[in-house]
Amino acid sequence: MANLEMFKKEQYINVETFRKNGVGVKTPVWFVEVNGELCFATEPYSGKVKRMHNNAVVNVAPCKMDGTVTGEWVPASIRFMQGDEIQIVDKQYSKKYGLMKTLFELPKIFSKKPERSFIAIKLQ
């Protein structure tokens, strides 16, 4: 199993999801570590969510904001989070990203878009 330590001081991870034809699509995302899993939130109708519904296998790597990988790629699997664990992850997001999270979410207050999908990544 890969070591979570390589992600401890990182602000972003690059998540590689896979299309039905096997082609990988890489996306940098904010994340928090909760109970031994790397967790992130995203729009529920995004391409990555669709790809993860079709294939729960992903690769992850620490990265910069622009997606430039700064460490090793690690195989992993995902699951969609539900219930109380979403609130725990959201609180961790607020703690880690603070004002940036608030500013990022400000436009959503006036939007009728659905809530976010929360995803947990288990490293292999």
Q: Which of 19, 16, 42, 38 is nearest to 27 (CA)?
A: 16
Length of the chain: 124
Residue 45, domain extent: 4-123
Domains in the chain: how many in total?
Answer: 1
Q: What's the pLDDT score for residue 103?
A: 67
Q: What's the pLDDT score for residue 110?
A: 64
Q: Which of 112, 93, 113 is nearest to 103 (CA)?
A: 93
Q: What is the pLDDT of residues 26-36, one digit of tens each?
A: 999 999 999 99
Q: How far is CA 72 from the centre of its chain?
A: 17
Is a pLDDT exceeding 80 seen at residue 46? yes
Q: How large a percentage of the chain has pLDDT more than 90?
A: 77
Q: What is the pLDDT of residues 69-81, one digit of tens each?
A: 999 999 999 999 9
Q: Whole-prediction pTM value?
A: 0.88
Residue 16 sits in a domain whose CATH number is 2.30.110.10
Q: Which of 24, 63, 67, 57 is nearest to 124 (CA)?
A: 57
Q: Which of 71, 48, 81 is nearest to 2 (CA)?
A: 71
CB atoms within 10 A of CB 108: 12
